[in-house]
Structure 1
Amino acid sequence: MQFHRFENSSALNSTFARWLIRIVKDAIAERGHAYLAVSGGRTPQALFAHLAGTDLPWQQVTITLADDRWLAPDAQDSNERLVKSVLLQDKASAAHFVSLVTTDERAEQGAAVINQRLSSLPKFDAVILGMGEDGHTASLFPCSQELSLGLSTTQDAVAVHPTTAPYQRISLSKQRLLNTQHLFLHLVGAGKLPVLNQAVAGDDVLQMPIRAFLHHPCVDIQVMFATE
């Protein structure tokens, strides 16, 4: 783990955007296309807006999500809606997007289709994770019965039914999230630091799933943190 602390979220996003732009450019130069997995929520919105106006060959970029709520893509709480309304705007509107939802009523009914979609994507160039105050990341919640599956399966995605958060979910698995050239944890808010410190101090991944990424022996996660 490498910890990067910034004076504020503006400084964080400026640096983070530069790093991601370089990653995208290098990936396109190397294999003709870049693949990103991003997270929803409030934290990445300013970063998304910054990237949206960046002059990149976006038609050679594919974006998907680390997880999503099992909702219609235009629902208020949908991560897909957030990404499409903030990141896939302006110049970035030319990027390709891979959805994590289907029209099936339940997430487990659509999981096979989602896994088929994801199977066509190669190793990610960058994955951006977030973290909740309970130590969850993506939709790998410590409260969910599906957590052990999400941490151990070789499938790309799993259906999740958290008991401490609303909505059924679809989440990329630990293995798929780790299948990336660059792994980031994007944190903003003073309250996130003690949670991070608690996660770093322990090793029970079922108690705090983010530990599976912070302590992984082969993937060096970059923690991007600002208190405000």
Structure 2
Amino acid sequence: MMQPVTPLVPSQAGVTAGTAADASPWLLRPCQDTAQQARELALELADRLRAAIDARGQALLAVSGGKSPLALFAELRRQELAWDRVTVLLADERCVPDGHPDSNGTLVREQLLQECAAAARWQPFFTTLPSQPSSDWSEAELDCLADSANQQLAALPWPLDLLVLGMGEDAHTASLFPAAPGLARALESEQRVAWVRPATAPHARLTLTLPTLLAARAIYLPLSGERKRAVFDQACRAASAEAPISLVLHRALQPVQVWLAP
């Protein structure tokens, strides 16, 4: 049985407790290892999805790509619930064609939308891209791609019911990369999606904007390893655009649930 989450307070972590609107701290869930983290977080997410479906008849789930969530996806796709009432989208996507090794969408379809979860509705950011690599695209082309994504996502039942984020060792989350071209707009835009062009990672990206992330009804941040724990501890100290994950921790409308594994 999952242990209850507990507030992250100064006596536990040696940092100032983060708050949502200076009212509610983020929540810390220690895990013995990444296997327990994936297994019990999948159970938690399934319960949240069932509750959203019971309350509103449908659920909107945003997940992150990369290698970190693969174990979670393997557990979550086996959960029995009304997946046909769940819409799945990404927190961010690399601007690469479908089937590309770096495509988060391909990864989610192959690793999450299988078994029980195969019945879920998949909502991509885009279906076609300019033919040349995204490094050659102009800002006007990126604007058009973001505008198209916003039109495609407009009819979804916002806000997100569940958001599963990741975090890089540079403190980025989704594709909110520190100091990246496009970051300022992605932090402030009232649109759901914006583009970012990180200098430290390949490919231009589309990402859910910070206001869209912050409005989610439930936010989960699974982390593992000492290096990411150190980045997280630093982000707990203050909200700063130099560490975008800190903006989520300190400003989310609901306390961020941080699941930590060694």
TM-score (norm 1): 0.95
Corresponding residue for 2:191?
A: 155
Any residues of structure 2 matched to 1:30-69 within 5 Å, and which? 30-69=55-94
Give 1:187's match in structure 2, choosing from 223, 229, 238. 223
Work out whether residues 238 and 250 of structure 2, in 8 Å CA contact, stay in contact via their aligned partners in 1: no
Larger radius of gyration between Structure 1 and Structure 2: 2
Any residues of structure 2 matched to 1:14-29 within 5 Å, and which? 14-29=39-54
Corresponding residue for 2:37?
A: 12
Corresponding residue for 2:253?
A: 218
Structure 2, unmatched stretches of 5+, are 1-25, 131-140
Structure 1, unmatched stretches of 5+, are none
Amino acid across the alignment from 2:246: R
Work out whether residues 27 and 257 of structure 2, in 8 Å CA contact, stay in contact via their aligned partners in 1: yes
Corresponding residue for 1:114?
A: 149
CA shift, 1:203, in A, is: 2.7
CA shift, 1:217, in A, is: 6.1
> Secondary structure at 1:223's aligned position in 2?
strand
Amino acid across the alignment from 1:117: Q
CA shift, 1:10, in A, is: 0.9
Aligned residues: 226
Runs of 4+ aligned residues of structure 1 deviating over 6 Å after TM superposition are none
CA shift, 1:109, in A, is: 2.5
Aligned mates of 1:129, 1:53 — CA distance in 2:
20
RMSD: 1.2
Work out whether residues 214 and 252 of structure 2, in 8 Å CA contact, stay in contact via their aligned partners in 1: no
TM-score (norm 2): 0.83
Work out whether residues 136 and 210 of structure 1, in 8 Å CA contact, stay in contact via their aligned partners in 2: yes
> Secondary structure at 2:219's aligned position in 1?
strand
Work out whether residues 215 and 252 of structure 2, in 8 Å CA contact, stay in contact via their aligned partners in 1: no
